[in-house]
Amino acid sequence: MSWPSLTRGRTHCGAELGLGTATEEIVHFHGEHEADVHLTRAMVARLRPALQNSTAVRLRAGSGWVTVRLDAGSDIDLLATLVSAALQATTAPDTAPDRCTRARPAVVQR
């Protein structure tokens, strides 16, 4: 996948490969067969009917992140479509931070 607005970057959950804009994490990969995409809560609400019908997508209650299982070529196409939607959604960001639900817990320093 090649989008000029996406660059490789750090992930909040510790995944090795993440892509994002200058201000937002957009997608990261958990192994070869799973990707998390940050659509934002508003975009998930708008796309919920279609997302719920996909066997490749897992929704998380109250989250703007969705997980896409990458088992078939059509799943890659779906991932590309969702990443494109996520890029559009970042032009109207949510007001509250929305971290991947797999995020590492914050380290408390004493």
User: Does the residue 82 lie in any domain?
Assistant: yes
Query: In total, how many domains does the chain have?
Result: 1
User: Does the residue 96 lie in any domain?
Assistant: no
Contact 56, 9 (CB under 8 A): no
Rounded Cα gap, residues 97 and 103, in angstroms: 12
Q: How distant, in Å, are the alpha carbons of 43, 66, 105 from that of 2?
A: 22, 21, 31
Rounded Cα gap, residues 8 and 77, in angstroms: 20
User: Does the residue 11 lie in any domain?
Assistant: yes
Residue-wise pLDDT tens for the chain (110 aa)?
A: 567 788 888 888 888 889 998 888 999 999 889 999 999 999 999 999 999 999 999 998 899 999 999 999 999 999 999 999 999 887 664 445 566 656 544 444 44
User: Does the residue 1 lie in any domain?
Assistant: no
User: Does the residue 95 lie in any domain?
Assistant: no
DSSP state of 106: P
Beta pairing, strands 7-9 & 34-38: unpaired
- Domain of 21 in residue numbering reads as 7-89
